[in-house]
Structure 1
């Protein structure tokens, strides 16, 4: 479980950093259908890209900890889930977006429960190891 959690945590970190940098560098061109959206959307998209880089760095920080802090994973996964919920709200208000946004929403809604489960399992393992070590004294 710990290995799967560490792998997914690193994957979340590096992919978020890469996606964020892509948006910072390309602006509107990074968003399907937004190439002609104008300067306000470009500015917002680049800012959000930088924020996503920071989000990815938080995942990478968590991946470097020994053990990985389950609480941090839960918070970061919760933010990711909130992004997916935001996409659902957009779908309800404005209709179906570009197909790639549907793929992203599926990942944002499907991956957090797995991360929550892995974080909980890792936390239970850590507690068990502490109890065993304490009992052995």
Structure 2
């Protein structure tokens, strides 16, 4: 479980960094359907892209820790889940967005439970290893 958590967290982190850099560099052109949204949305999108780079780097940092900190994984996955919930709220208020945004919402709502499960399983394994070491004294 630890290896799976580490690999998935690292993949998540570098994916977020790449997406964030893409948004910073391309602005509105990086957002399906927002090409003519104007300078305000472009500015907001580039700013949010920088935030997404930071979010991705937090995942990369967590993946590099030994062991991967389950609490940090839960927080980062919770933020991702909140983003998916925001997309659902937008859908309820404004209707269906571009199809790519629907695909992103599926990922944002489906991946966090996997991270929650992996973090809990890794935590149980670590707790079991610690108990084994303590019993062997």
TM-score, structure 1 length as denominator? Answer: 0.99
Aligned to 1:23: 23
Map of 1:121 onto structure 2: 121
Find the counterpart in structure 2 of residue 46 from structure 1.
46
C-alpha displacement at 1:102, in angstroms? 0.3
- Structure 1 unaligned runs (5+)? none
Cα offset, 1:7, TM superposition: 1.0
Distance 1:126 1:6 in 2: 14
**Cα displacement (A) at 1:80:** 0.3
Q: C-alpha root-mean-square deviation of aligned residues, in Å?
A: 0.4
Counterpart in the other structure of 1:37: 37
Question: Counterpart of 1:32 in 2: which secondary structure?
Answer: coil
Q: CA deviation at 1:88?
A: 0.2
Aligned pair count reads: 137
Structure 2 gap segments, 5+ residues each: none
Match of 1:7 in 2: 7
Structure 1: distance between partners of 2:77 and 2:28: 26
Give the Cα separation in 2 of the matches to 1:37 and 1:57.
29
Distance 1:87 1:2 in 2: 30
Moved over 2 A (4+): none
When normalised by structure 2's length, the TM-score is 0.99
By how many angstroms is 1:135 displaced? 1.0
Equivalent residue for 1:111? 111
Counterparts of 1:35-114 in structure 2, within 5 Å, are 35-114=35-114
Distance 1:8 1:85 in 2: 22
